């Protein structure tokens, strides 16, 4: 219900609509559909995620989806380490070059 009211006010992107449709059928999804849901869900805007979580008919399915596949929705520690390592190394190199 919340998603329908919000959808009329804001307009829903195709990705958000696809996510809602897939979640409505969860856990009865094929492998490709599940892979697609895992792929597109992290890219949703936070407001759309909040509206889906508030929707009565989708909130339980969203909780089950997070329970079953939540570990696949966030970047790995290794990826985050690389993302932090590169700017720190670049800054240290620049400081060394300027003041070294």
**pLDDT confidence of residue 10:** 56
Residue 92 forms part of a structural domain: no
Residue 61 forms part of a structural domain: yes
pTM for the predicted model, two decimal places = 0.65
Q: Which domain holds residue 22?
A: 2-74
In this structure, are residues 44 and 16 in contact, taking their beta carbons and an 8 Å threshold? Answer: yes
- Tell me the per-residue pLDDT of 19-32, one tens digit each, with 9 for 90 and over: 999 999 999 999 99
Residue 19 forms part of a structural domain: yes
Residue 96 forms part of a structural domain: no
Residue 79 forms part of a structural domain: no
What whole-number distance in Å separates Cα of residue 20 and Cα of residue 26?
10
- Tell me the per-residue pLDDT of 34-45, one tens digit each, with 9 for 90 and over: 999 999 998 888
Number of domains in the chain: 1
């Amino acid at each position: 219900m919340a998603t329908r009211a919000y959808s009329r006010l804001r307009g829903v992107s195709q990705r958000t609509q696809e996510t809602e449709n897939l979640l409505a059928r969860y856990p009865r999804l094929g492998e490709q559909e599940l892979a697609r849901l895992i792929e597109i869900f992290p890219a949703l805007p936070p407001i759309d995620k909040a509206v889906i979580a508030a929707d009565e008919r989708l909130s339980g399915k969203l909780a089950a989806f997070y329970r079953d596949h939540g570990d696949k929705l966030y970047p790995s520690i290794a990826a985050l380490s690389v993302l932090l390592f590169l700017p720190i190394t670049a800054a240290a190199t620049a400081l060394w070059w300027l003041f070294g």
